[in-house]
Amino acid sequence: MGLFDRVRGVFGGDDPEPEPATGHDDAEAAPEPTTDPDGRGRGGVNEAADGEKSGSHGSHWDTVTTGQMDVISTIRGAVESGMPTEWRTDDGETVVGYRAGAGPVSTLVVTGPDGDLWTAYPVAEGITHELSVETVVPWANGAEAQLTGALGDSTVSVFATNYVTIDERIEGSRQVELAALCYDLNPATDETLTVDDEHEFSTAGMAGFVPFDGGDVDDYVFQTRIESVKQVAFGDATIYRCRAPLFRDAHGNDYEISLYAAEHACDGYVPEPGDDVEGVFWLQGWLA
């Protein structure tokens, strides 16, 4: 089977209900999330038979594309135009990576020793922070992983976009370029909340995030205030690249990231500097 036949197979070919791309062929899919009213969680997240985690990028592609044929075309273009680079997985297998895209959002494709597609996902340029990595959870294919660590006085989990390129211990202090791809982005309404039945505060200008119930560890619900906006392209899609704080620590310091929201994720809303926004995003990090 050729690579592009494999691409079609990963996305279900001509079947009416295509399966999401998955990082491990032998994994047994877990039941659908029980709390995911808007379908924004990572579809297809599952556990491999040997207990290792196997993840899916189906919903991740929804952040930058509007259809499976767009994804297939994007993967095909990356393999055809990207410069091939050999890496080794945790298990010592040689894989080939292709990264392609002229703008701040690109595509990374990893193929196995036999040329079959292992994984493919969008990668976005971000803002670099020092992350004290405490936990690394490799995926079953040995080429992908998620990290959890301390960022200032907060704890974050991110998908490590270039895990397969790292051949050294990751735990400890690392420079990580953080970016978030939005499943959806909406204007936030200013509310007045009461704490301890007496202290009131406004949510205007708030910057914070919490885990998304029904998603994976790197999926978050957030609210923030946009500082700057620039339109960028990913294939035929228009994407708003925003600079905004991920959160504000106890000392008032902002930890800014690059926040990406495609037009289709905004449902007609056009973000502007100074807007308070809310939504759900996938948080990723590129390791220095």
Q: Cβ atoms within 10 A of the Cβ of 170, count?
A: 17
Using the predicted structure, report yes or no on whether residue 2 has a pLDDT greater than 70: no
Same domain? For 278 and 240 the reply is: yes
Under the banding of pLDDT at 50, 70 and 90, the label for residue 246 is very high
Same domain? For 114 and 196 the reply is: no
- Domain C-terminal end among 71, 104, 124: 124
- Domain C-terminal end among 65, 92, 124: 124
The number of residues in the chain equals: 288
Same domain? For 209 and 254 the reply is: yes
Which of the 8 DSSP states describes residue 33? P
Same domain? For 34 and 14 the reply is: yes
Terminal-to-terminal C-alpha distance of the chain: 36
Report the alpha-carbon distance of residue 142 to residue 28 in Å, rounded. 17
Q: What is the pTM of this model?
A: 0.82
Q: For the sheet with 46-47, list strands across it.
A: 28-29, 46-47, 53-54
Same domain? For 132 and 251 the reply is: yes
Phi, psi (5° rounding) for residue 168? -135, 170
Domain interval for residue 132: 127-287
Range with the lowest mean pLDDT among 31-45, 62-76, 204-218?
31-45
- Domain C-terminal end among 124, 151, 168: 124
Same domain? For 166 and 113 the reply is: no
pLDDT digits (tens, 9 = 90+) for 64-118: 999 889 999 999 999 999 999 999 998 899 999 999 998 999 999 999 999 999 9
Report the alpha-carbon distance of residue 177 to residue 233 in Å, rounded. 20
Under the banding of pLDDT at 50, 70 and 90, the label for residue 14 is very low
pLDDT at 204: 87
Same domain? For 167 and 224 the reply is: yes
Under the banding of pLDDT at 50, 70 and 90, the label for residue 21 is very low
Token representation of residue 282: 């996938």
Using the predicted structure, report yes or no on whether residue 4 has a pLDDT greater than 90: no
Under the banding of pLDDT at 50, 70 and 90, the label for residue 16 is very low
Domain count of the chain? 2
Task: Please check whether residue 182 is in contact with residue 283, taking contact to mean a CB–CB distance below 8 angstroms.
Answer: no
Same domain? For 99 and 173 the reply is: no
Q: Apex CA 62: angle with CA 58 and CA 63, to 5°?
A: 125
